Amino acid sequence: MKDYLIDTHAHIDMLEEPIEETFGKMQEFNVKKALIPSVEIGTIDKILDIANKYENIYAMLGIFPSEAKTYTPDIEQKFIDLAQNPKIKAIGEIGLDYYWDKSFADIQKEVFIKQIKLADKLELPVVVHDRDAHKDVFDILASLNPKNGVLFHCFSGSVEFMKECVKKGWYIALGGVVTFKNAVKMKDVAKEVPLEKLVLETDAPYLTPVPYRGKHNTPAYVKYVAEEIARLREMPLDELIDVTTNNAERFFGI
């Protein structure tokens, strides 16, 4: 039985605290592994430096929806070159975000599609950012059917949407929002998502879970996500940790 946690989505490159402090907290909370997503080309080198330097830290390659206009053939070629690094475990975070600016939705879709196809070419799974764009994200993924797995980062849909995603074989990642008192929808998803399709994350430095909500988030706090989901499902914490850790290791090949 796996007794350690994995944070499947933490922007360690963006954390304000010294990196050794981050890893010290992870050790204290028994968080053994973490994955750093990419959002823009300017941070890729820093992310890879961290992943290459530290054992059990892995990286993703991707351009965030809000940065879609920056995606070029040169960037795609750079991703192809960098993906030879064994620490690269996914293309992400990629997807659609209609919350802040929907004016260039067509470009977002175009770049999302290109990056899904790139993931297939590189034989990597995709980690999806979906904010206020459930139908378009689902339709694109369903039409392209990524060959190496799909994970919805920071899932924000309904129970019904979750069930449609799971029917496709896709994975669901839940983070700190599930600990928020008024996050009824996410608590319902946490209760009903099939355990074999669930992984945990923090999205640090964002979305800090209770009891530290409003403060700086860090990968160690994935422990509080696990505790809340175990409470909601009325199951032993060690069983939830074992299942979600095995799921993350299988999905990412870590």
For residue 200, what are the CA distances in angstroms to 195, 226, 228? 11, 7, 11
String of b and e for 8-41 (b: at least 16 CB within 10 Å)? Answer: bbbbbbebeeeeeebbebbeebebbbbbbbbbeb
In tens, the pLDDT along 26-77 reads 999 999 999 999 999 999 999 999 999 999 999 999 999 999 999 999 999 9
CB 44 within 8 A of CB 75: no
pLDDT recorded at residue 101 = 84
pLDDT recorded at residue 79 = 98
Residues written for the chain = 254
pLDDT recorded at residue 92 = 97
The pTM of the whole model exceeds 0.95: yes
Whole-angstrom Cα distance, residue 177 to residue 199?
Answer: 14
Whole-angstrom Cα distance, residue 139 to residue 10?
Answer: 27
For residue 107, what are the CA distances in angstroms to 121, 137, 154? 21, 13, 22
Give the chain's domains with CATH numbers: 5-252 (3.20.20.140)
pLDDT recorded at residue 100 = 82
**pLDDT per residue of the chain (254 residues) written in tens, 0 to 9:** 999 999 999 999 999 999 999 999 999 999 999 999 999 999 999 999 999 999 999 999 999 999 999 999 999 999 999 999 999 999 999 999 999 888 899 999 999 999 999 999 999 999 999 999 999 999 999 999 999 999 999 999 999 999 999 999 999 999 999 999 999 999 999 999 999 999 999 999 999 999 999 999 999 999 999 999 999 999 999 999 999 999 999 999 99
Q: Which residue type sits at 29?
A: F
Q: Give which of 207, 204, 201, 242 is closest to 223, Cα–Cα.
A: 201
Whole-angstrom Cα distance, residue 145 to residue 179?
Answer: 32
